[in-house]
Structure 1
């Protein structure tokens, strides 16, 4: 392994910085599962305050969907903010933003409004959108290509399954034994402490800029940012809200058309108009597109699996929140192993093989859930899903992160982090909205279990499309004879110009 980068004062300093970045990924995944293990508790508490015997059950999709939506959407902007104003500054702001809105999310119980809770969850996600790409950009700036960088990104990937497991267990214990708002208040306290630590642990001279704040603002591409973010939010909102209010509502179809037009306009602005585009032209290559497509489709299917897995074990198997969260322990164990394995093999095999294997795992996991009997023991097919899916999650994320970090120049390391995190989180929310639409329509003429299965079938198809794209990626690498995805910067520049 290469020597420690000179920017670190000691081994403790290096471990502290990597740990802070890993905790950003850890708590992002915690933020998703803590709303899944307690979703029935949250729904029942707001129902009791409103005086209704039961609030529309379909609103539960927004507990997870609103959080993933803003994480995925605002990452598009936050990576550029980190590149322009400094990765450390935006990273620290992200921690304090999470602390404030985690506090408000817990306090939303006093508003007696489930809509306010969902909105608070969305604002909470913006904080993590600031953290993820800047954290990944920090690692990309600190480490040169090599085993040390691969290990750091492998540790980042391992933070995902550990965060998902610990977040689910922590929230379940608090929600079942105490009161669910305390789960968000604990997150607020931890985030504030991590924000303070980041001020001292992260070097101040990372991606230092010589331009003024005014010059940086001019390069921010405000118009493109607004068009892109609004378009993505509306498109995602339509698919999630359509399953709640029904697709016969005129405003749903209207917003769908508007969102598509805005997204098309966004890409037109980025490619033809913007002087300083939010998405640099260097990312519009076939290889990067295939990597992002595979990761997005794989994680989109995983979002479907995760939501309906929790619905099945809580509503049909009648597990308690704590019992349900304990079923995630295999993901915790095998997920760490998978992430560290990919950090070793990424330099010894074609990345296309890793991506193909990961998308196949996502597809197999969804297939297994679709055929799992309700009353079967957990230690049969259910536990097997955990073993399979952890390889999909924890090989795809670090592999894609390393690929894009290696492939983009130092000036776009924040953008490298934002691309992967954007695709992962936005896909989770988007495809979940599509799946709930399938569920609601199927439920009109079928049982609850059959409606869940119909949604999971969509997840199988989404992951299968990811496998297809990964096969195309393999063919491309075989044709050009490249064993790696990390050409020199001069080679990259020539490829971008020829593209």
Structure 2
């Protein structure tokens, strides 16, 4: 929503001495809070009930969408970015709870695979609808209505969720606040937010600022303290100890590097077509129709592929697609027709999104049967936090390159080269995952087919067969 309209929004805040570098925050600020707060929202949903937290998330989105629209009158781009960041907290509440609700409703099998495939289709579908709708509203009307319309649609979805989504009882076996692990939440959130803030703000203000270096050191110490506290000192860790397994770690690493590179790809794609190809926001939004069509096709086939293919092969294929998409954008000539490399990279990336996300969701949903909210949190945390973190790193490369050569295209490509390297790390992790996994007796994805056994046996057998 903010990428297709970033030039229009930035122009309305020109009187506040804004810089185009702030456009990094248009995407990064939202992804920062989504990726950080999802870490705890899944635990909150497990304790207090999925439907309740799901609805609270919609209410939060409605409130901050309205405020985001009115930020126009403040003439402060910083306030607008803050509003977007707070808006992200609402989505951090509904993403893992939505996945958790689906994980509870559907038992293991092809129907569940199909449903999670449809969830994966939300990526390209939402990207197209959001970019195109925002472009039409901002170009033909007034950009604050982007957020006010979002508030209206969110209100409709809130009513529908209240009426139709079944109620799931939260944890009633003990002290919920104690199980929430408030110290762990505070340490973890502080570390994640500061780390992300530093890598997004550093390129904007410069790395020579003392507070940037200080906050970077503090964030590293807080993240280290979080893991020490979770493993050694708390009775109810936010991260189940079962995830500290090399195979699950490799899956999450593949998701992190793959989607982190895609976040950079998306940012530079919009900068290239708006600033170098001079597309209008509506024309840019229309290019995302490729994602809409191919994403739906990929999602319909994803459930079949997931049911008949080992997850390591699917994850590996997805990471390769992420890397190829970054490579193609980095070498695409500015004057070239959309229907050549640009169209081709979107075809490839649609498969990357629609296969990686539902596959990872299914893996963690099946392995963490009693912690569906946390399973959804882990996937969404890795995806959204990586988008924001690696976007900040890539823009750092871009800005430093521009300082040396004063060439916008080569600086964009430098950021894309970094994203390609990140995606390449994902490919390496996926190959390692294939190497360390063991084949089950049928040579297929056994853990998706396991049914009617207790949770502990699922976890043990799944980890062995993965």
TM-score where L is the length of structure 1: 0.89
Cα distance in 1 for residues equivalent to 2:65 and 2:248: 34
Check whether the contact 1:79–1:417 (CA below 8 A) recurs between aligned residues: yes
CA distance in 2, matches of 1:132, 1:197: 16
| Aligned mate of 2:361, from 401, 406, 421 | 401
Q: How many residues align?
A: 457
Which residues of structure 1 form unaligned runs of 5+? 1-33
For 1:418 and 1:208, the matched residues in 2 are separated by: 16
CA–CA separation in structure 1 for the residues paired with 2:264 and 2:172: 45
**Are 1:191 and 2:154 matched, yes or no?**
yes
Could you say which residue in structure 2 is the equivalent of 1:450?
A: 410
CA-CA distance at 1:159 after TM superposition: 1.5
The answer to whether the 8 A contact 1:66-1:122 is kept is yes
Per-residue CA deviations over 1:394-417 (Å, capped at 9, x if unaligned) read 1100111111111112x2000010
Give yes or no for the alignment of 1:127 onto 2:87. Answer: no
**Whole-angstrom distance in 1 between the partners of 2:61 and 2:305:** 35
Residues 85-112 of structure 1 show CA distances to partners (whole Å, capped at 9, x for unaligned) of 0001000000010000001001100111
Whole-Å separation in 1 of the counterparts to 2:284 and 2:419: 21
Matches within 5 A, 1:170-189: 170-189=133-152
Are residue 115 (structure 1) and residue 81 (structure 2) matched? no
How many Å apart are 1:479 and its aligned residue? 6.4
1:56 maps onto 2:19 in alignment: yes
Query: Of 103, 109, 112, which residue of structure 1 is paired with 2:66?
Result: 103
Q: C-alpha distance in 1, partners of 2:396/2:62?
A: 33
1:79 corresponds, among 12, 17, 42, to 42
For residues 383-462 of structure 1, the aligned pairs below 5 Å read 383-409=343-369, 411-446=370-405, 447-462=407-422
Partner of residue 56, structure 2: 93
Structure 2: 5+ residue runs without aligned partners?
none
SS in 2 for 1:444: helix
Cα distance, 1:311–1:188 mapped onto 2, change above 3 Å: same
Q: Per-residue deviation at 1:492?
A: 4.7
1: CA distance between counterparts of 2:428 and 2:217?
28
Question: Distance between the aligned counterparts of 2:278 and 2:456, measured in 1?
Answer: 58
Which residue in 1 is equivalent to 2:4? 37
**Aligned equivalents of 2:261, 2:191: Cα separation in 1:** 22
Q: Counterparts of 2:73 and 2:154 in 1: how far apart (Å)?
A: 22
- Cα offset, 1:339, TM superposition: 1.7
Q: Distance in 2 between matches of 1:344 and 1:493?
A: 23
Q: Which residue of 2 aligns with 1:27?
A: none
Determine the C-alpha separation between the residues in 1 that align with 2:435 and 2:318. Answer: 17
Q: Are the counterparts in 2 of residues 407 and 485 from structure 1 also a CA contact under 8 Å?
A: no
User: Does structure 1 conserve the Cα–Cα contact (< 8 Å) formed by 2:367 and 2:459?
Assistant: no
**1:464 equivalent in structure 2:** 424
> What is aligned with 2:339?
379
Deviation per residue, 1:344-385 (Å, 9 max, x gap)? 111211100000000000000000001100111111111111
1:283 maps to which of 216, 223, 243: 243
Query: Which of residues 188, 199, 203 in structure 2 aligns to 1:239?
Result: 199
CA distance in 1, matches of 2:100, 2:380: 11
CA distances 1:289-348 after superposition (whole Å, capped 9, x unpaired): 111110110000000000000000000011011011111111111111112212111121
Superposed CA offset, 1:157-212 (max 9, x none): 111111100000000000000000000000011112211221111112x2443336
TM-superposed CA distance for 1:283, in Å, is 1.4
Q: Which residue of 2 aligns with 1:490?
A: 456
Give the Å deviation of 1:129: 0.1
Please state whether the residue corresponding to 2:213 is helix, strand or coil.
Answer: helix
Query: 1: CA distance between counterparts of 2:345 and 2:87?
Result: 30
1:350 corresponds in structure 2 to 310
Distance in structure 2 (CA, Å) of the matches to 1:495 and 1:479? 12
CA contact (8 A) 1:282 1:496 kept: no
Q: 1:342 to 1:493 in 2, by over 3 A?
A: closer
How far does residue 270 in structure 1 lie from its aligned partner after superposition? 0.9
